[in-house]
């Protein structure tokens, strides 16, 4: 289908049912249409619609259907099922779809996919299940896939395409172009379907330079490759973590990069489309972790979701109990002045919020490598100053509120002093906890907020009630 | 410098000072070396090091230096300053650098940059400042830049390169290749330095198809463009929001896409490197907002940072006061049973944490368009079930703690009942608040958490203290 409507990137002129990327309403409509067609037993309509869709949209559609309709839809489109759909599906949904498709269909899909996509589909399964499907894949594809699976999870080796165009560095531009055209003419399977750079290698298969296709096309045929190739390219080791790969691509505006094994031999290439997925994935992970969710669970069943979130809540229960113990130390004071119980959450909550602001900036700066050993001290100092500044402002505000509410200037003074203390500590803790965790090799995104809340709750309650106990009794 | 060490993507073999992407230690070293050289007055050393660096690394270096050293470093490298550095800098730092460079140097940098990068550098300045620099830019470049600035902020028009290779759709592959080479030979300024697709247009400059360079190279010269071009391409309107552009690129694995004006004429192209930056930027924004930070302020001065974070904290103060008012309703009950004051933060805090988990998943699903009108009801129902499930578990746990601690089974029962109520409400609120905000046209990332905390605090305190007042008195 042509998709050339200039008004939006998504409206499709000649098909009312075409999925619209980015338009919630039309997207919502298509699953209703499919659900209705399944209910009405109109399988031809389902097949017609799916045939018209891009594989990414088929994946979206399957994700949005409920589990029963998903299984029924897969049953209906089984023989027109595009293997690419599998690599676009959310993990939980993919499990459903793979089970619905059955061993033979999945195996044939794996053969059809590029090796990196096949690895992507298989990597979340356990070894027994992987074997089940791989048994039915032809030997050549199987060995490529198994090699991909042998690299560490989240490594460059898993991300890379094995298919890559290499040329001897002594060739000229014309030879390269003829070589590519000859391989394409002969229907060479090993020629990648889309590529952006060709790589010049020496006699030992070590990459020595990269030539972008636009450079290749803009250069006369007789010019030697060595003259136009980019020597200052970024060679990635198969074991490099995908997060570092993504950082490199973003930092250097790369579209593809050669991957080498430990002996420096070229074994594949990573292209930007895979990196975009990695960036997106890492992004999801960061946000989820900061929100106390270990794994995106939108498509998981309720009970399994509850179980996955349970452990985080247990940690938080312990934190909350610790804060309660601190309050318990001052129960006599509270009994005497019940206004303390009324006001104490304000101090803890403001510390928590101010600390979270600091924490967010610090965790992000660590993730983007903007925060290093060299400026850590400066960042912490700054956050303490910010804490003093806002601490004083909110001390005045909350002091006035307490004074006005309970008619006690002393109570106002106590909450003001506690507020300054807690907000300064919040700045200090919000900046230093992630830095310490990072140095200790822990992921600052996931553990920082629990530590921070513990600090701001304990300090908040202790400062406020402790000062009150000193002053009011 | 060649960067071909297979061990990591970053180690550079022949220059000890070379910056290392992704390696905190070596990165930390370079700014120390620069700082020392500046202190020692060794400007040649500074210049030698900067000359060796990639522009993205120069930008990183300038970001990490303190303000005084930054200004002094710019002074030293002024005449070897690479314009590309400007487009890589964080906004706050860019302001410093632009001021240190002076009008003439900035104007000449703007002329050298691609139009999209020049627009990127200028767009955060006010109109008067933009004019100041543009006055010194030659007319041709200025009109391109001004045209870019005339498109709405964060639109495709701002992102696109105006330089794009178009061919008549009736040409064949050979004509296209010759045309590109001819333009390159003549030193054509309008030929983009790197490109991935060429676009076939009809007689009215409407794009009718795209041909990837790898396709062009793999096809015989006499084949007509119309036969190899991808008609199912995604045409983007100049006014499209950059977030939708990023979504489209990610969803469709694009590397470039044509941009058209309202009449459907091709006016430019967006390439994936700019989209990667957008994805990163939107990511930053999402995380910052969920953490209560309006704008990344790592490089801002302390006072300006404190001021920017102040308004968020004021909103939270109001929320905290509201929660205190609820506690105040039950002061008599608390005076009688001071254990209530000790335990009450547990209920509120667990509700807040469970709600944040739900909120995080929901806000993300809305941002990635996985959550639509069609499955909103299903998601909310599921989150309520998760709330019931974990609510019951934590009711038992906290009930036992309260019973054991204060020896009162009734108190245990009260906290258990309040816990179930608050965690169910947390699930309901965590899922529905972002959906309601999105429908109302507000950004769910920024406002949701305040509403959520208000709900879980108020419900938590009210349920716990209210039940206690009923049962214990």
| Residue ranges covered by each domain of chain B | 24-152, 166-271, 302-472
More confident call, A442 vs A396? A396
So what CATH class is A166-290? alpha beta
- State whether B208 and A4 contact (CB < 8 Å): yes
Query: Residue B346 is nearest to which of A275, A320, A359, comparing CB atoms?
Result: A320
How many whole angstroms separate alpha carbon B355 and alpha carbon A316? 13
Global confidence as pTM: 0.79
Query: Residue A353 is nearest to which of B316, B348, B349, comparing CB atoms?
Result: B316
What is the pLDDT at residue B350?
95
Chain A CB contacts of B293 under 8 Å are 357, 360-361
Chain B CB contacts of A187 under 8 Å are none
Per-residue pLDDT, averaged over A404-419, amounts to: 96
- State whether A372 and B27 contact (CB < 8 Å): yes
Chain A CB contacts of B286 under 8 Å are 283, 287
What is the pLDDT at residue B293?
86
Distance from CA of A40 to the nearest CA of B (A): 19
Count Cα atoms within 13 angstroms, Cβ side, for A313. Answer: 33
Per-residue pLDDT, averaged over A248-260, amounts to: 91
Average pLDDT along chain A: 87
- Provide the residue-wise pLDDT of chain B in tens; the chain has 473 residues: 344 444 443 433 333 333 334 333 444 578 888 999 999 999 999 999 999 888 888 998 898 888 889 999 999 998 899 998 998 898 889 988 998 998 888 998 988 887 788 888 898 888 888 998 999 888 888 888 888 898 998 899 999 988 899 999 999 999 999 999 999 888 777 788 789 999 999 999 999 999 999 999 989 999 999 999 988 888 999 999 998 999 899 888 889 999 999 999 999 999 998 899 898 888 888 888 888 887 777 888 888 889 889 999 999 999 999 999 999 999 999 999 999 999 999 999 999 999 999 999 999 888 888 887 778 888 999 999 999 999 999 999 999 999 999 999 999 999 999 999 999 999 999 999 999 999 998 888 878 888 999 999 999 999 999 999 999 86
Q: Which of A10, A349, A365 is most worth mutating to test chain B (most B CB atoms within 10 A of its CB)? A: A349
Quick one: tokens of A313? 């809540």
Tell me the per-residue pLDDT of A419-467, one tens digit each, with 9 for 90 and over: 999 999 999 999 999 999 999 988 888 788 889 999 999 999 999 999 9
B353: three-class secondary structure by DSSP: helix
Percent of chain A with pLDDT over 90: 54
Distance from CA of A374 to the nearest CA of B (A): 5
Look at A71-85, A290-304, B60-74 and tell me which has the smallest mean pLDDT: A290-304
- State whether B247 and A22 contact (CB < 8 Å): yes
What is the pLDDT at residue B31?
82
The yes-or-no verdict on residue A263 having pLDDT over 50 is yes
* Chain A CA closest to residue B2: A232
Comparing CA positions, the residue from A456, A439, A290, A426 lying closest to residue A376 is A439
DSSP string, B95-160: HHHHHHH-HHHHHHHHHHS-HHHHHHHHTTS-HHHHHHHHTTS-HHHHHHHHHHHHSPTTBHHHH-
More confident call, B288 vs A237? A237
Query: CB neighbours (10 Å) of residue A99?
Result: 13
How many whole angstroms separate alpha carbon A109 and alpha carbon A97? 12
* Chain B CA closest to residue A35: B374
What phi-psi label fits residue B253: left (phi over 0), alpha (psi between -120 and 50 degrees) or beta? left
Chain A CB contacts of B237 under 8 Å are 6-9
How many whole angstroms separate alpha carbon A94 and alpha carbon A97? 5
* B86 close to B98: Cβ distance less than 8 angstroms: yes
Domain B166-271 sits in which CATH superfamily? CBS-domain (3.10.580.10)
Distance from CA of B277 to the nearest CA of A (A): 7
Per-residue pLDDT, averaged over A243-251, amounts to: 90
The structure tokens 């498509």 sit at A299
The structure tokens 């290779």 sit at B165
- H, E, C per residue of A156-219: HHHHCECCCCEEECCCEHHHHHHHHHHHHHCCCCCCCCCCCEEEEECCCCCEEEEEEHHHHHCC
Query: Residue A232 is nearest to which of B3, B263, B343, comparing CB atoms?
Result: B3
Comparing CA positions, the residue from A278, A258, A254 lying closest to residue A269 is A258
Please, which residues have CB within 8 angstroms of residue A464's CB and are 6 or more apart in sequence?
A340, A343, A344, A347, A414, A415, A418, A422
How many whole angstroms separate alpha carbon A275 and alpha carbon B273? 11
The yes-or-no verdict on residue A16 having pLDDT over 60 is no
* Chain A CA closest to residue B346: A320
Count Cα atoms within 13 angstroms, Cβ side, for B157. Answer: 19
Please, which residues have CB within 8 angstroms of residue A92's CB and are 6 or more apart in sequence?
A297, A299, A300
- H, E, C per residue of A63-97: HHCCHHHHHHHHHHHHHHCCCHHHHHCCHHHHHHH
What is the pLDDT at residue B192?
81
Chain A CB contacts of B10 under 8 Å are 244, 248
* Chain A CA closest to residue B439: A24
Look at A14-23, A232-241, B142-151 and tell me which has the smallest mean pLDDT: A14-23
How far does chain B reach from its first CA to its final CA, in angstroms? 80
CA B150 from chain centre, in angstroms, equals: 23
Per-residue pLDDT, averaged over A301-326, amounts to: 92
CA-CA distances (angstroms) from residue A168 to A173, A199, A332?
Answer: 11, 9, 84
- State whether B353 and A316 contact (CB < 8 Å): yes
Please, which residues have CB within 8 angstroms of residue B62's CB and are 6 or more apart in sequence?
B70, B73, B74, B85, B89, B93, B97
Query: Residue B374 is nearest to which of A32, A216, A292, comparing CB atoms?
Result: A32
What is the pLDDT at residue A473?
64
Chain A CB contacts of B249 under 8 Å are 276
How many whole angstroms separate alpha carbon B332 and alpha carbon B343? 16
Q: What is the CATH number of domain B302-472?
A: 1.10.357.20
Phi, psi dihedral angles at A117 (to 5 degrees): -70, -40
- State whether A361 and B234 contact (CB < 8 Å): no
- State whether B276 and A280 contact (CB < 8 Å): no
What is the pLDDT at residue A140?
82
Distance from CA of A360 to the nearest CA of B (A): 6
* B401 close to A320: Cβ distance less than 8 angstroms: no
Please, which residues have CB within 8 angstroms of residue A137's CB and are 6 or more apart in sequence?
A107, A110, A111, A145
Q: How many pairs of residues across A and B have Cβ atoms under 8 Å apart?
A: 442
CATH 1.25.60.10 describes domain A24-152? yes
How many whole angstroms separate alpha carbon A177 and alpha carbon B48? 39
């Amino acid at each position: 289908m042509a998709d050339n409507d200039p008004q939006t990137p998504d409206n499709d002129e000649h098909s009312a049912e075409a999925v619209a990327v980015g338009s919630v309403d039309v997207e919502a409509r298509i699953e209703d249409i499919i659900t209705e067609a399944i209910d009405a037993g109109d399988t031809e309509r389902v097949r017609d619609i799916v045939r018209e869709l891009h594989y990414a949209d088929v994946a979206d559609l399957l994700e949005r259907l409920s589990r029963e309709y998903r299984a029924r839809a897969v049953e209906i489109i089984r023989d027109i099922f595009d293997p690419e759909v599998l690599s676009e599906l959310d993990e939980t949904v993919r499990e459903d779809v793979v089970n619905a498709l059955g061993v033979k269909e999945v195996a044939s899909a794996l053969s059809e996919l590029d090796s990196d996509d096949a690895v992507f589909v298989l990597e979340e399964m356990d070894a027994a299940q992987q074997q089940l499907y791989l048994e039915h894949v032809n030997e050549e594809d199987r060995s490529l896939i198994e090699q991909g699976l042998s690299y560490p999870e989240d490594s460059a080796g898993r991300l890379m395409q094995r298919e890559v165009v290499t040329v001897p560095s002594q060739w000229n531009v014309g030879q390269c172009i003829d070589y590519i055209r000859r391989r394409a003419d002969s229907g060479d399977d090993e020629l990648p379907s889309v590529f952006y750079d060709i790589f010049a290698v020496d006699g030992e298969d070590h990459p020595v330079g990269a030539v972008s296709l636009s450079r290749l096309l803009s250069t006369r045929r007789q010019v030697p490759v060595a003259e136009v190739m980019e020597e200052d390219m970024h060679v990635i080791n198969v074991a490099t973590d995908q997060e570092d790969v993504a950082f490199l691509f973003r930092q250097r505006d790369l579209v593809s990069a050669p991957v080498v094994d430990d002996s420096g031999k070229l074994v594949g290439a990573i292209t930007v489309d895979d990196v975009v997925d990695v960036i997106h994935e890492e992004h999801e992970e960061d946000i989820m972790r900061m929100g106390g969710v270990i794994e995106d669970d939108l498509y998981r069943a309720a009970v399994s979701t509850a179980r996955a979130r349970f452990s985080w809540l247990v940690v938080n229960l312990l934190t909350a109990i610790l804060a309660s113990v601190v309050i318990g130390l001052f129960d006599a004071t509270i009994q005497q002045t019940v206004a303390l119980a009324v006001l104490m959450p304000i101090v803890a909550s403001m510390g928590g919020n101010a600390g979270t602001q600091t924490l967010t900036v610090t965790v992000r700066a660590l993730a983007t490598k903007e925060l290093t050993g060299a400026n850590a001290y400066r960042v912490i100092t700054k956050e303490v100053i910010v804490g003093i500044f806002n601490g004083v402002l909110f001390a005045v505000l909350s002091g006035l509120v307490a004074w006005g509410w309970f008619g006690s200037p002393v109570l106002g003074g106590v909450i003001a002093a506690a507020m300054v203390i807690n907000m300064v500590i919040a700045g200090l803790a919000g900046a230093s906890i992630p830095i310490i965790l990072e140095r200790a090799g822990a992921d600052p995104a996931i553990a920082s907020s629990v530590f921070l809340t513990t600090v701001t709750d304990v300090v908040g309650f202790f400062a406020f009630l402790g000062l009150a106990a000193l002053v009011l009794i």
